[in-house]
């Protein structure tokens, strides 16, 4: 299911106090896949430039999480 802009806004409003709010916002507004968002490391962020690089994704094979390259090139 793809959320409408109103549904996305409602979710973000309701989640505004959640500890993962910034991650939810990043996924909703920048189109990250769940695994890409989970793979973000502090070394992938540049707060001065306001950028985040997507170099890893976390996927699950059975019960085991795996780290690997994302499906698309770093945007």
Indicate if 26 and 39 belong to the same structural domain: no
The answer, yes or no, to whether residue 75 has pLDDT greater than 70, is no
| Domain that includes residue 5, residue range | 1-31
Question: pLDDT tens digits, residue range 4-30?
Answer: 999 999 999 999 999 999 999 999 999
Indicate if 45 and 63 belong to the same structural domain: yes
Total domains, the chain? 2
Question: pLDDT tens digits, residue range 25-60?
Answer: 999 999 898 899 999 999 999 999 999 999 999 999
As a whole number of angstroms, the distance between CA 35 and CA 66 comes to: 10
Indicate whether this model's pTM tops 0.75.
no
The answer, yes or no, to whether residue 1 has pLDDT greater than 60, is yes
Indicate if 1 and 24 belong to the same structural domain: yes
- Output the pLDDT for position 73: 66
Indicate if 41 and 56 belong to the same structural domain: yes
Based on its alpha-carbon atoms, the radius of gyration of the chain, rounded to whole angstroms, reads: 14
As a whole number of angstroms, the distance between CA 73 and CA 55 comes to: 8
């Amino acid at each position: 299911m793809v959320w409408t802009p109103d549904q996305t806004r409602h979710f973000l409003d309701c989640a505004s106090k959640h500890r993962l709010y910034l991650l939810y916002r990043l996924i909703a507004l920048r189109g990250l896949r769940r695994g890409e968002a989970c793979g973000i490391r502090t070394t992938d962020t540049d707060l001065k430039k306001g950028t985040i690089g997507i170099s890893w994704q976390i996927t699950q094979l059975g019960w085991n999480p795996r780290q690997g390259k994302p499906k698309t090139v770093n945007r």
